[in-house]
Amino acid sequence: MFGKLVAAASGIALLLFHTTSGQASVITSPTGATASSTFSADYGIVHTIDESGLTVLFVSGSTNFDAYLAGNPLHTQVALNNEWFTALGTTQATVTYDLGRLSTVDRLALWNEELSGFGTGRISYSLDGETFVSLISISPVDNPADQPYGAQVFGWEAISARFFRFDISGCPQPIGDPSPFCGIGEVAFSVLAQQAEVRGPEAVPEPGTVALLALSLVGAGWIGRARRCR
């Protein structure tokens, strides 16, 4: 009887862990950003993290990443107070984004500005904002000029990071303004939700919870056995 209870408890614990081990991925805006070059305050780097140019808004840290992007949210082509540009004559730049806290990140959503944009980028990540580790290289699409544009998603194996640095070049892209600028419309990241923040069937039980459940079932078996032996 004891062996059966142990097996049952272990099976239930494993089943709970297996069926609830998925984590929700939420779309998250950085809380801060800096750029090595900026055209003016009207075209500041803050406009790439404030959703100002998006046709559909999201709740940072809450809205499901995949569900939001499945709706194909577009970015307006209107530049003033909606996009970032480098100073005139600057065709490469470095942008650093701060997520505000250490997070588990696996993807980037990028709305590459349609008139200038950038042709290539090297993305690196950091825990402290000082030491960066190279992550991936990207080559965003050259969006048609003077039209609202959508996001591209770039992915990697999930990492723990707070800061992301973009070293961009190849500006401007061939389609659009021939003036020497780099530009970005908006960026957002896919962050795996913390277990305490997940609700419903996607919630992942803490390992301690699973262990306590198994021990409780075993303990219940011992109590029943002891009572029968009296």
Q: Could you state, in order of their start, the residue ranges of all structural domains in the chain?
A: 2-20+206-229, 25-197
Look at residue 133 and tell me whether its pLDDT is greater than 80: yes
pLDDT at 10: 43
3-17, 35-49, 62-76: least confidently modelled range: 3-17
* pLDDT confidence bin for 24, thresholds 50/70/90: confident
CA angle 5, 8, 12 (to 5 degrees): 140
* pLDDT confidence bin for 120, thresholds 50/70/90: very high
Strand 25-28 to 93-111 pairing = unpaired
149-174: pLDDT as tens digits = 999 999 999 999 999 999 999 999 99
Instruction: Collect all residues with Cβ–Cβ distance below 8 Å to 138 and sequence separation of at least 6.
Output: 108, 110, 120, 121, 123, 154
Q: Is the pTM of this model over 0.85?
A: no
Mean pLDDT estimate for the chain: 83
Look at residue 17 and tell me whether its pLDDT is greater than 60: no
Q: What is the distance between the alpha carbons of residues 16 and 6, in angstroms, rounded to a whole number?
A: 15
Q: What is the distance between the alpha carbons of residues 6 and 222, in angstroms, rounded to a whole number?
A: 11
Look at residue 12 and tell me whether its pLDDT is greater than 60: no
Beta carbons of 56 and 155 less than 8 angstroms apart: no
pLDDT at 193: 83
pLDDT at 119: 97
Give the CATH number of domain 25-197; options: 3.30.2290.10, 2.60.120.260, 1.10.510.10, 3.10.20.90.
2.60.120.260
Over residues 198-212, mean pLDDT: 43
pLDDT at 122: 98
Over residues 78-100, mean pLDDT: 98
187-197: pLDDT as tens digits = 999 999 864 34
Look at residue 93 and tell me whether its pLDDT is greater than 90: yes
Over residues 20-40, mean pLDDT: 88
pLDDT at 22: 55
pLDDT at 202: 40
